Chains A and B, each alone.
Chain A
Amino acid sequence: MDKKKQIKIIVISLLALLLAMGTNAMLHFGEKKKAPEGAIALNIQGKESWLVPAELELQDVTGTVVNGKGEEKNIDEKGISLHEIVGDIDFEQIEVKADDEYSALVFHDETDIAYLLVKEDTVTLVVFGDLNSKRNVKGVASIEVK
């Protein structure tokens, strides 16, 4: 293949990818609704609202979780259980999503052992009894009850 042609292909490809990235970024940011400072988007079966961690009645949360390396870690922080946030409604699962779109599912019978730990500006989901840290969602940004 001619060298000049290959250089043209490289430049055009890079520009096209940059354009695609920029367009997708604009669409993605456009979809994120404007939220109060530090608030978590809460969607309970279609009803949308905001959860402001600073206004929650936090309780002491103690227990043991397993970190990414398989080591046990003791938790003794302020937080609130998912059961208190969601209430006594009938649902299948709760999807807790972080700011970087990492998400975890919590099922109906687990809401009493799933807590949102509030530390300064960061809200973290922990589910006691898990054998790994896959459901330890750091920087919770949205909670959707399905």
Chain B
Amino acid sequence: MKKASLKELLIYALCCDLGIFCKTLISPLSNTITGFLHIPGGVGTSFSLMFLTVACVGFPHLGASTLMGFIQAMIVLFLGRTGSMGALAPIGYIIPGMAMDLVCLFCRKCRMDVPLTAMLANMCASAAACLSANMIVFGLRGTVLMLYLSTAMFFGAVCGLFASVLIHRLRPFIRIGRNQ
């Protein structure tokens, strides 16, 4: 496995922080959408996972997403920003990271392009985040769970495409994986 360079590690660290703190910025908009749909969330999570996607698809290293998820979990625990998930909040960060790693690995094996990889990675990570939050906190069932999941996956896919645009813009400054 290739060692990550200092530049890559700095990008990972930056994206970790952006993923946590930008969620607050988009809260008013995401609450408008989720309030209209009568679901507990899904939009803000997809947006925050976009930064993990930028880092992990732009700098493909095995285990990077899981590591970033773990670091985000530690940050929110130390800052006390666990929300309604409480001490189980780390699960809600690590599981999406693992899902993203698995999807990125699959996409690299299939030699998929950056936009498709980013879209699938963000979509699956959003779905994993929602399912873990549902398991820990919400306990939704039936059509409301399906709505929650489909909303998260849709916005996950859209944010994944935004992530691919960001990766393309950062191309002069970052190394793209050999499939692209």
Q: Measuring CB to CB, which residues of chain A are less than 8 angstroms from any residue of chain B?
A: 1, 3, 6, 9-10, 13-14, 17-18, 20-21, 24-25, 27-29, 31-32, 68-70, 99-103, 132, 134
Contact = CB atoms under 8 A, between A and B. Distances in A.
Contact of A28 (B34, B80, B144): B144
A103 B123 CA distance: 26
Given A6-B116, A134-B86, A17 B150 contact: yes
Q: Which of A9, A20, A100, A103 neighbours the largest number of chain B CB atoms within 10 Å of its CB?
A: A100
B153 A17 contact: yes
Query: At the interface, is chain B mostly helix, strand, loop or mixed?
Result: helix
B146 interface: yes
Given A13-B123, A99-B38, A101-B39, 14 more contacts: A1-B112, A1-B116, A10-B115, A17-B123, A24-B143, A24-B150, A27-B143, A27-B146, A28-B147, A68-B83, A68-B84, A100-B39, A100-B40, A102-B40
Nearest to A18: B154
Contacts of B111: 1
A95 to B, nearest CB: 10
Q: How large is the interface on B (under 10, 10 to 19, 20 to 34, 35 or more residues)?
A: 35 or more
20 contacts: A1-B110, A6-B112, A13-B119, A13-B123, A17-B154, A21-B154, A24-B146, A24-B150, A25-B147, A28-B37, A28-B143, A28-B144, A28-B147, A29-B38, A101-B39, A101-B140, A102-B84, A102-B137, A102-B138, A134-B86
Contacts of B95: none
Contact of B86 (A6, A102, A132): A132
Contacts of B84: 68, 102, 134
A21 B176 CA distance: 33
A134 B148 CA distance: 20
A49 B39 CA distance: 24
Contact of B40 (A17, A18, A24, A101): A101
Given A17-B157, A31-B143, A3 B38 contact: no
Nearest to A102: B40
B132 interface: no
B151 interface: yes
B128 to A, nearest CB: 16
Contacts of B153: 17, 20
A132 B147 CA distance: 29
Contact of A6 (B83, B113, B150, B151): B113
Given A1-B113, A6-B112, A69-B80, A14 B38 contact: no
A89 B109 CA distance: 61
The 8 closest A-B pairs by CB, nearest first: A24-B147, A17-B154, A20-B150, A21-B150, A27-B143, A24-B146, A28-B143, A6-B116
B167 interface: no
B177 interface: no
Interface in B20-55: 34-35, 37-40
A70 to B, nearest CB: 8
Contacts of A17: 123, 150, 153-154, 157
